[in-house]
Amino acid sequence: MKSKVSLALCLLVVLVVADWLSKYYFNANFHLYQSQQVIGENFLRWTLVYNQGFSFSIGANYPVLMRVLVGSFAVIVAIVLTYLAWKKLVTPSLPKPEKYTAWAFILVASGAFGNGLERIFFGHVTDFIHFTFGTWSFAVFNLADIWINLGIYLLIYNLLFVRAK
């Protein structure tokens, strides 16, 4: 039990640190809106942008205080998810669906900590991963966004395939 909790907390810290180090790297080595081709002529680019809004830049025109409050809310959600994961992981003989839920909570909490704290301290989130497919361009995102999406996918998988058995 303790090893699962330790592993979960280590994973959370590693994912938040990886997110922040990647953001630090791009802030130190790229100018705002600078873009560099990575894979293919028009598939994956590194493009430094600051997202002052939330998902897909929604709320970018909100006052700074509102954006900081949303960042604070994200951190509170991350704390609650971490606590809920901890409660699940210290339970002896935890059923498989609950294990999946706990790990999904850790992934989402990692992303919420990464983006939420950055929004509180800097008033924006650093995004840099940019996929394009022909003329279609996907929103620029970061590692924290990936952690959140992986957690959500794990929750959906858990609901559709693990709990359904």
Range of the domain at 47: 1-162
**Which pLDDT score, from 0 to 100, does residue 165 have?**
64
Residue 64 pLDDT greater than 80, yes or no: no
**Which pLDDT score, from 0 to 100, does residue 92 have?**
81
**Which pLDDT score, from 0 to 100, does residue 57 have?**
62
Which of 98, 115, 145, 148 is catalytic? The answer is: 145
Total domain count, the chain? 1
**Which pLDDT score, from 0 to 100, does residue 26 have?**
98
| 127 is an active site residue | yes
- Residue 20 — pLDDT band, cuts 50, 70, 90? very high
Which of 127, 130, 146, 154 is catalytic? The answer is: 127
**Which pLDDT score, from 0 to 100, does residue 114 have?**
98
| 145 is an active site residue | yes
3-state secondary structure labels for all residues of the chain: CHHHHHHHHHHHHHHHHHHHHHHHHHHHHCCCCCEEEEECCCCEEEEEEEECCCHHHCCCCCCHHHHHHHHHHHHHHHHHHHHHHHHHHCCCCCCHHHHHHHHHHHHHHHHHHHHHHHHHHHCCEEEEEEEEECCEECCCECHHHHHHHHHHHHHHHHHHHHCCC
